[in-house]
Chain A
Amino acid sequence: MEEPIKAPVPEQEEYVINMGPQHPSTHGVLRLVVSLKGEIVQNVQPHIGYIHRGIEKMCESITYPQIIHLTDRMDYLSAHINNEAVCLAVEKALGIEVSDRVKVIRTILSELTRIQSHQLFWATFGMDLGGLTCFFYGLRDREKVLDIFEETCGGRMIVSYNCPGGLMNDIHPNFQKRTKEFIKYFRDTLPEYDRLLTGNVIFQERLKNIGTVTREQAIAWGLTGPVGRASGLSCDVRKHNPYSAYDRVTFNEIIYNEGDSFHRYKVRMDEMWESMNIIEQLIDNIPSGAYAEKMKPVIKLPEGEYWQSVETARGELGVYIVSDGNKNPYRVKFRSPNFVHLAPLNLMSQGAKIADLVAINGSLDLIIPDIDR
């Protein structure tokens, strides 16, 4: 019998390491202070604020149309949906009904945004777990959506395409053609994603029963979006509180009851199919009409408080505007899904291995600028 090698850290002692702020698997500047016992995670403490820009405070000194371009920079993968949230809140406050054309175009673009966000999730999640091929394939397909954005909105990620009262400009004549081409292409390519990653035995073993959240916990922590729906919580704002054109399309709300990392992944994969269904229902009959309502040059909201929530690719984004009747808001608060999803990270990863922490963190699909704002 050999004598056991004396560990540099006694086995019973906890030690603390920093994961991040410059760690590729935290997808941004997030610092996780992890206490470990051996390889087992005892406690995770997220330290945020490395990319805090004070967006909410900045909003107080600029006008409503100017707020739009700041929301692009929160959750940059759902830029279009963030824009839409502010626009809907302002339109609601002013009592403006936008034309059907605007509603339909906004919905199509929102769903395209969701698809490209989930594609990037798939790409980076695969990369986090050791499959670099996914990263190339995911980005290859995402490029096609970004081209559609670029042609119509002028920007690839930072689109700034919505404005209170409608859209900045009309859609490009190629928009419908390109979108249809993409849907056709992606219907053939999405099963490839499953063959490459979903069915992979290593991938499944690393995710199943890891980071489980029960339905009660999901409600208690306020989880929404794919994270909440993987725990059996029906929380899709598009279904429960339809905005834009979601009340005229049929789609399923994807719900799984297991609540582990694998099913958080599954929700997103299935949502891409649903998004394609939604787009297909709308793309051929975009109604004609104005692409923007005539607005006053200076938009002043009546005194009061306004709330609008939308379903971004990551969950429920709420915009809360307090107006004192001026052209600047008195206070703006964004209820961002990522901030809420970061909170239960400790709960999910206690007792897991440190490699599982990467998987759990990846399955939450956090966007750090949205946490810090």
Chain B
Amino acid sequence: MNSFTEYFRGIFNGLRSLFQGLGVTGKYFFKPGTTVTQQYPNNRKDLKMFDMFKGEVIMPHNEKNEHKCTGCGICEINCPNGSIEIISATIVNEDGKKQRIIDKHIYHLGMCTFCGLCVKTCPSQALAFGQEFEHAVFDRTKLTKVLNQPGSKIMKGVE
């Protein structure tokens, strides 16, 4: 007798648990308002990443095509995997003194691990993270970028 009730209780509990699960999925099936899917390639226009998002390292320039990089090379030292190469040049500035400036700030996006150390340690806050995340290219060499724009100068007042 005991095993008999046990048997039916087992079947009943089993069925109940199955319907409980179906209840959960059914709830979402009949409530399309709870959908969270993003229509990714189609919503490109209004897809906005968070300000902090680490998409790539960039060097912000102002409207006069000026940046803040002094060419000190601290970011190069701090990068754990050699994603940054600094090529500096020496010029004679208006006061007649020799000054070291940045010639090329080369950034290998393909090697970057987004640790954020370059952005954090730059003494003149010349670097920042950009929000661009669609980095797929057909040719790997396209991932090597020069961050200071051609013809750009260092901002006045940045040492």
Are the C-beta atoms of A192 and B24 separated by less than 8 Å?
Answer: yes
Chain A contacts to B: CB under 8 angstroms: 62, 65-66, 68-70, 133, 140, 143, 147, 150-155, 158, 160, 163, 168-169, 172, 192, 195-197, 199-202, 297
Those 5 A-B pairs whose CB atoms lie nearest each other, nearest first: A69-B115, A201-B14, A66-B80, A154-B52, A154-B54
Measured between C-beta atoms, what is the minimum distance from B31 to chain A in Å?
Answer: 13
Contact A140 B36 (CB under 8 A): yes
- Chain B residue numbers with a CB within 8 Å of A169 are 52, 120
Distance, CA A62 to CA B129, complexed state (A): 23
Q: How far is the CB of B93 from chain A (nearest CB, A)?
A: 27
Chain B positions 1-52 with a Cβ under 8 Å from a chain A Cβ: 10, 13-14, 17-18, 20-21, 23-25, 36, 49-50, 52
Nearest residue (CB) in A for B121 is A297
| Cα of A65 to Cα of B18 in the assembled complex, Å | 51
B73 within 8 Å of A (CB atoms): no
CA distance A153 to B116 in the complex (A): 10
Chain B residues with CB under 8 A of A68: 115
Q: Can you name 25 A-B residue pairings with CB atoms under 8 Å?
A: A65-B117, A66-B80, A66-B117, A68-B115, A69-B80, A69-B117, A70-B80, A150-B52, A150-B53, A151-B50, A154-B50, A154-B114, A155-B54, A158-B113, A160-B114, A160-B116, A163-B120, A172-B50, A195-B23, A196-B20, A196-B24, A197-B21, A199-B17, A199-B20, A199-B21
State in angstroms the CA–CA spacing of A153 and B13 once bound together: 46
**Does B78 make an interface contact (CB < 8 A)?**
yes
- Residue from the list B23, B36, B115 in contact with A66, Cβ < 8 A: B115
**Given A69-B113, A200-B21 in contact, is the A143-B52 Cβ separation under 8 Å?**
no
Q: How large is the interface on B (under 10, 10 to 19, 20 to 34, 35 or more residues)?
A: 20 to 34
Q: Which residue of chain B is the closest to A144 with respect to CB atoms? A: B36
A172 vs B13: C-alpha distance in the bound complex, in angstroms? 47
Shortest C-beta distance, B58 to chain A (Å), equals 13
Within 8 A of A (CB), among B88-140: 113-117, 120-121, 129
Contacts of A65 in B (CB 8 A): 78, 117
CB distance from B121 to the nearest CB of A (A): 8
Distance between Cα atoms of A168 and B78 in the complex (Å):
14
Q: Which of B20, B36, B52, B115 is A151 in contact with, Cβ under 8 Å? A: B52
A150 contacts B21, C-beta separation under 8 Å: no
Residue of B nearest to A203 (CB): B17
Give every chain B residue within 8 A of A69 (Cβ-Cβ): 80, 113-115, 117
CB A139 to nearest CB in B, in angstroms, measures 10
Which residues of B lie under 8 Å from residue A62 when comparing CB positions? Answer: 80
Among B14, B18, B21, B49, max chain A CB count under 10 A is at: B21
Binary contact readout B56-76 vs A (1 if CB under 8 angstroms, 0 otherwise): 000000000000000000000
- What residues on B are CB-neighbors of A154 within 8 Å? 50, 52-54, 114, 116, 129
**Contact, CB under 8 Å: B115 / A153:** no
CA distance in complex: A196, B24 (Å)? 7
Separation of A66 and B113 alpha carbons in the complex (Å): 11
The reply to whether A201 and B120 contact each other, CB–CB distance below 8 Å, is: no
Q: Is the CB of B18 within 8 A of A66?
A: no
Which of B78, B114, B116 has most A Cβ within 10 Å?
Answer: B116
Least CB separation from B34: chain A residue: A140
Contacts of B121 on A, CB cut-off 8 Å? 297
The interface residues of chain A lying within 8 Å CB-to-CB of B80 are 62, 66, 69-70
Nearest-neighbor residue (CB-CB) of B117 within chain A: A65
A-B contact sample (13 more), CB < 8 A, given A69-B113, A154-B114, A200-B17: A65-B78, A68-B115, A133-B21, A133-B25, A152-B52, A155-B54, A155-B114, A160-B115, A169-B52, A195-B24, A196-B20, A196-B21, A201-B10
- B116 and A201 contacting across the interface, CB-CB below 8 Å: no
